[in-house]
Amino acid sequence: MKKDVTLKAKPKCPQCSIEGVEYISSIDSAEKSNSDEPWFNIAYCNQCGHIYGVFNKIQLQPIVQYHNLKEQ
């Protein structure tokens, strides 16, 4: 028996109960890094505005590298 997961498990908004990926939108943050990249994305329901999650776009690198620590 073939399992069809995609038909049974649509993304569903917990707030307005609408179902389907077409209702999930994402926007870039207004805050920008020095290189003019958005810091994060916001995924939200475009029917009621419920926020599903916030995702980092910029990966911060450690300022002090490991080999610098060894030399000190």
Q: Provide the mask over 51-70, with x wherever binding to Zn ion is found by CB under 5 A and - wherever it is not.
A: --------------------
Q: Provide the mask over 27-46, with x wherever binding to Zn ion is found by CB under 5 A and - wherever it is not.
A: ------------------x-
Euclidean distance between CA atoms 19 and 11, whole angstroms: 6
Closest CA to 45 of 64, 17, 3: 17
Please identify which residue in 27, 48, 51, 58 interacts with Zn ion, judged by CB under 5 A. 48
Q: Specify whether the CB–CB gap between 32 and 41 falls below 8 A.
A: no
Nearer to Zn ion, 39 or 43 (CB): 43
